[in-house]
């Protein structure tokens, strides 16, 4: 497993919650938003287990909705628990990203 993959795996929950907080999405739409953000192509085999895990933790909920373009789609919504978790993850991220960046970029200036 590459270093990028390992890092992304640890932060994917926060990325997914952040996207869903902005607007409810269905699975394929979520993968497109992750791609558009610059994270690269994240497979459905990665995204759906994340969604299932977040749903089990009650950070998101889902509902089936009619689609104008075919079968129904499962849309995902963030819950209050999910908003709290995202806030906590964001605070943790902000607490560690600056010192780590400073350490690993030392001497590059």
Q: What is the pTM for the complete model shown?
A: 0.87
Strand partners, 78: 60
> DSSP readout, 31-98?
HHHHIIIII----HHHHHHHHHHHHHTTSEEEEEEEETTEEEEEEEEE-HHHHHHHHHHHHHHHHHHH
Could you give the C-alpha distances from 81 to 11, 85, 97, in angstroms and in order? Answer: 18, 6, 24
Percent pLDDT > 70 in the chain is: 97
Give residue-wise pLDDT tens across range 39-89: 888 888 889 999 999 999 999 999 999 988 889 999 999 999 999 999 999
Evaluate whether 54 touches 12 at the Cβ level (below 8 Å).
Answer: no
The packing angle between helices 80-104 and 3-22, to 10°, is 140
Averaged pLDDT, 31-45: 89
pLDDT on residue 72: 92
């Amino acid at each position: 497993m590459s270093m990028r993959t390992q890092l992304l795996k640890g932060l994917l929950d926060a990325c997914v919650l952040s996207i869903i907080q902005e607007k409810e999405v269905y699975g394929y739409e979520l993968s497109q938003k992750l791609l558009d953000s610059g994270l690269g192509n994240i497979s459905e085999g990665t995204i759906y287990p994340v969604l299932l895990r977040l749903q089990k933790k009650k950070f998101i909920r889902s509902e089936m909705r009619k689609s104008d373009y075919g079968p129904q789609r499962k849309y995902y919504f963030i819950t209050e628990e999910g908003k709290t978790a995202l806030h906590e993850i964001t605070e943790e991220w902000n607490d560690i990203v600056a010192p780590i960046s400073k350490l690993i970029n030392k001497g590059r200036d």
